[in-house]
Each structure stands twice: as C-alpha cells, then as structure tokens.
Amino acid sequence: MANGKTGAAATIETGGFEDVFFSASDGLKLHAADYGRSNSATRDRLPVVCLPGLTRNTRDFDDLARLLASDPKTPRRVVSFDYRGRGQSGWDKDPSRYNITVEAEDVLSGMAALGLEHAIFIGTSRGGLIMHVLAATRPGVMAAGVLNDIGPVIEGAGLAQIKAYLSRMPKPKNWDDAAQILSEAHAKSFPALTENDWRDFARAVYVEEDGQLVADYDPKLLNGLKGIDLSTPLPTLWPQFDGLGRMPLLALRGEHSTLLSADTLLEMKQRVPSLQTETIAGHGHAPILHLSGIPEILTRFFASVDKQNRH
C-alpha cells in the first residue's frame, strides 16, 4: 500500500479505491472511501457522495461505488463516509455528539478535505436525515439527492423495530453464523436476498477484532435511541424536505419498509411534484443499493441530472 497526502486528507490506496483519513472540526480522525478519483474520465461529471444509516459504514456502498466508478459510459467519482463512531472513523469520547447536526458538519469537513464542492448525494436512512440538515444549512453542496428509504416523517413503529433489534443483536460465532443471524432478523422484509447476499451483508455489518466478530460501531452510539419516547409522534422535517425539493430528487422505498410509509412517500410527491419515486420489490428498510436493478435506476436518475446541468 502507498501513503500520501492530498490537501488535509491522508490517503491509503487499496484495491479499487482509496481509504482517506481527515480531521473533523474538533480534531477527531474520520474516514472516507474514495472511488474513481484517479480516473480522468470522472472529472467532468458530478461526483456521488454516499451517506450510510445509523450504525452502518462505507462498506454498505462498496459494490455500488465500484459499479458507478467503473461504468464504461459514464464513470463517476464516488465518496462514502464513515461517521464518527463507525467503521474506520474515531470514536467520540462524548456520546452526545453522535447526532445528525454534528455528523452533517463532519460530512462538510470531509468534502472540503477531498476537494468536493458539490455532488449528487445518496442518503440511506440516517444519511437521508443528514441531507435534510444540509438542505437547511448548506444546500449548495448538493446538486441532486437520492433518499434511500427515508423521508421527513419517521414511523415510530419502524424505529422501535430498529431499536429492539440493535439492543438484542446476538454475537456471532463466525461469518456463517453472522449471515444466519442477519437472515433470521430481516429475511421477512428482504425476500429478494440470496444466501450470498446475506454473507455480503454480514461483511458490511461486522468486523473481526481479537478473533471475535463485533458490530462495527461504538456501542455508545445507541445511547441516543434510549431517550426517544416512541409513544408520542416523532418530530417531522417537512420544511427541510421542501428545501431538498428545490433540486432534482429521487426517493427509494423498500416494499416492506416500516420506517418510510407509502402514505408519507405519496405526500412527499404531492409537495414536490418533480420528485421521482421508486418502490423496490423484495426489500425492507433500507434497500440494498447494488441489488434488484437499483444501479440502473440510479444511473438513469444521474443521467437526467447531468442533462439538467447542461442546460
């Protein structure tokens, strides 16, 4: 592996992408995965920024990023971020800073370190909430957006399921066991997934430490879920969503999602008629972006964004 410096970011070249390490505004060391930066064919095309879910990391986007960066006709630079406390980013000594406002600031720090002025954003779950924050604070960094199974209304029942699952997640004995645990927990919502897909899923969720498989995030990250009162309606983000609606926008919803309801998706479309929507059959929360024809959906959307930018 080769080490180098690019602006404020230290990079490590790996197979097909670069691991990039940069500093947050408070000095915490954070990580991003950067695909296609060295390909000159990507430089005149909008890059893609990928933001994962609550406890997830850059590996969720690895297959999609490789597809987009190596597209024979329209290759794109793709950057995905590990928020603080996840993946290869540092853990925060103050768990109260695991919140979407701080994480939005971290994304902006990463974009500055990587020389990204604006991009097409893909936000899965919490990543989409961060996009809502950016729509209110720094909308200029987003040329277009993809909301992956998230919107301005979060269903309490769906959040309760996530909270219960994360609090009871068993520790896998090995990689096969990890895939089995995930399948048993999510197969009803994801009938489209194969055995190999569950194995890939496990590699994205878990990491090996001292011979044990552990979930790849700071356990204190879940402190924020403990204080949420799910017996009352959760706050909504309609004003921020209206801000997102001023740019080209695509919303994906898993057919079996309990976090983004079909009614909310319909209201989103009514408020922003230009919103493109797709329901992904055989997926729950949240659709896995390299499966079930989603890369083709995204490529068509990106092409429409490129066309609008040329006019």
Look at residue 2 and tell me whether its pLDDT is greater than 60. Answer: no
Contact 162, 125 (CB under 8 A): no
> What is the model's pLDDT at position 3?
34
- In order of their start, the domains of the chain are 3-155+233-310 (3.40.50.1820)
Look at residue 4 and tell me whether its pLDDT is greater than 50. Answer: no
d(CA 42, CA 305): 15
Q: Which two tokens stand for residue 261?
A: 């309801």
> What is the model's pLDDT at position 114?
97
**pTM of the predicted protein model:** 0.94
> What is the model's pLDDT at position 85?
98
Q: Model confidence over 218-274: pLDDT tens digits?
A: 999 999 888 787 778 889 999 999 999 999 999 999 999 999 999 999 999 999 999
> What is the model's pLDDT at position 15?
67
Contact 186, 198 (CB under 8 A): no
User: Which residues are paired to 127 by β-bridges?
Assistant: none
Element of type H or E holding 10: strand 9-14
Confidence of residue 311 (pLDDT cuts 50, 70, 90): low
Contact 194, 59 (CB under 8 A): no
Look at residue 111 and tell me whether its pLDDT is greater than 80. Answer: yes
Q: Which two tokens stand for residue 136?
A: 């209110």
> What is the model's pLDDT at position 107?
98
Look at residue 61 and tell me whether its pLDDT is greater than 90. Answer: yes
